[in-house]
Amino acid sequence: MTSDTVILEARDLQKRFGAVVAAQDINVKVASGEKLSLIGANGAGKTTFMNMVTGYLKPDSGAILLEGGDVTKLNPRQITQRGVCRSFQIPQLYEPMTALENVMVAIGASGRRFSFFQPADLNETVEQARAMLKRFALDPYAHRPVSELPGGVRKLLDIAMALVRNPKILLLDEPTSGVSVDEKFPLMETVMEALAAEAVTVIFVEHDMDIVTRYSDRVLAFYQGQVIADDDPSEVLSDPAVQKYVTGTAGPATAPAGAEKEAEA
């Protein structure tokens, strides 16, 4: 459920890598509790936007506000501490360790402990980790090494580890990539059910338009570093420019302002 409260705002973000425009005039407001998906071809600017929001990349100009405070110059750790967490396209897991131990490490790190298995905290940490695994239907895999887990299970485990901090905003980079067709919808159902009890805002990059349609409140479509459409899924996916430059549907469309000029540069 969304609210009228703006939790995240990007103001006039600009980013170039030489002649390549990665972000141009990005102005976005995200409401608390919103499920926002980012779509676009590879290199369109989706990941650049996520990297700027999470502090992994600094914009050339513009500002990023979290709950009204400027976080543009903060590093990723500082932004995480303010409630913005992220999972990656390739899960960031400790493969020799079990699923349970991975979540325990995430819990320990969130508490800034030097040792993740301190005797005084061990029982509580184990209980918290088991509860998180159960929440994502991962309890059957608790004692299996990550190296033995299927791709979809690894994705869920990575997201579960990001959630141990109880973030205000959770960013998911292509949560269904590398997952079989049969696993995609069950995976997203599990994720959304796990998040249902939390007042967490979700921003996710996705290439599967069926996933986008079913699980988004709103969609941002990117093309050559610009947002060319910003609306609910049905409106964005029926936009002629989106059909031409993002989804590949044949038909006439006018290029976004400045896009052809940038392409020639």
Q: Whole domain around residue 191: which residue ranges?
A: 6-83+167-264
Is the same domain home to 108 and 193? no
Give the integer Cα–Cα distance in Å for 149 and 103. Answer: 15
Chain segment 13-27, per-residue pLDDT in tens: 999 999 999 999 999
Q: How many structural domains compose the chain?
A: 2
Which residues 6+ apart lie within 8 Å of 196 measured at CB? Answer: none
The CATH number of whichever domain residue 69 belongs to comes to: 3.40.50.300
From the list 59, 33, 49, the residue with the least C-alpha distance to 170 is: 33
Write out the H or E segment, with its range, that includes residue 161.
Answer: helix 151-163
* pLDDT the model gives residue 251: 54
- pTM, two decimal places: 0.84
Which of 128, 147, 166 marks a domain boundary? 166
Residues 259, 171 within the same domain: yes
Residues ≥6 apart with Cβ < 8 Å to 195:
163, 170, 202
Q: What confidence tens digit (pLDDT) does each residue in 201-244 have?
A: 999 999 999 999 999 999 999 999 999 999 999 999 999 999 99
